[in-house]
Amino acid sequence: MSTKKKILNRVATVFFTVISFFWMFPILLIFYNSLKEETATGTSTIFKLPGKETFVGLEHYVEAINDQGMLSAFGYSFIISVTSVLLIIICCSMAGWFIVRVNNRWTKMFYYLCLFSMAVPFQMVMFTLSKTADTLHLDNPFNICIIYLGFGAGLAVFMFTGFVKSVPIEIEEAALIDGCNPLQTYTKVLLPILRPTIISTAILELMWVWNDYLLPQLVLDTNKYNTIPMVIQRFRGSYGHVAMGAMMASIMIDIIPIVIVYLICQKYIIKGVVSGAVKG
């Protein structure tokens, strides 16, 4: 490697390290403020690290869990996110496969309808949706996944359709010759090929569903069920008072699962991007 290339690599390393620090700084700010007492989280002291007088340890985390029902909210968020993402992945991967392989005017119409759904603002349908969800008994954590399927299908169908186009049809024809029916071809042949796209789509949908506040707030019975974003919102007290310490602790509890999932699946995301670039 030439000297000029080494210098460029070092400069790039320093540059991206600095960018990464600025990217991570808000999360670090929330974390160390969640360890400080309430009076030390004001606008004048928010950037100061916790000291001997202001450090309270995990006190705010205990407060968030015990007083605001964070554990039950975590459970409901987990149920909603997992069921919604699984339903989106299964239904939309099948839909993308069907659209590409059948390829007639009806499948094209369905495909464009999915694309159109991505452009429709949620605010246009939220009041009608709330009434419909109540009528169809979708106002609980176990059935709300059907609503998320409707709103998440646009992006998922778009991604799966684009990837299936790059899969040679000869692979599926060989499976049919070997005696596989369409369902076996989908599960044993197509799904392993779609794994990078499945993981990439799942993470995008998971981040959306996990952090969504407006849809659960409108649809769920808030006297029985609350998700993590709904609990975080309740730290805003009367007369503009905000329990900053407990709120920041709750935000950290909300962030950690998504970060862990992303770190575990990172290699598959990179593999999916590279695979799509080579095949495209």
Model confidence over 214-243: pLDDT tens digits?
A: 889 888 888 888 898 888 887 766 555 677
Residue 9 confidence (pLDDT) above 80: yes
pLDDT range class, residue 271, cuts 50, 70, 90: low
Residues 6+ away with beta carbon under 8 Å from 89? 156, 198, 201, 202, 205
Tell me the C-alpha to C-alpha distance, in Å, between residue 36 and each of 27, 59, 85, 251, 253.
15, 9, 36, 15, 16
pLDDT range class, residue 280, cuts 50, 70, 90: very low
Q: What is the mean pLDDT of residues 253-278?
A: 71
pLDDT 10s digits, 138-177: 888 899 999 999 888 888 998 899 888 888 888 888 888 8
Sequence ranges of the domains in the chain: 24-57, 60-279
Q: SS3 for 250?
A: helix
pTM over 0.75: yes
Do 272 and 214 contact (CB within 8 A), yes or no? no
Percent of the chain residues topping a pLDDT of 70: 91
What's the CATH architecture for 60-279? Orthogonal Bundle (1.10)
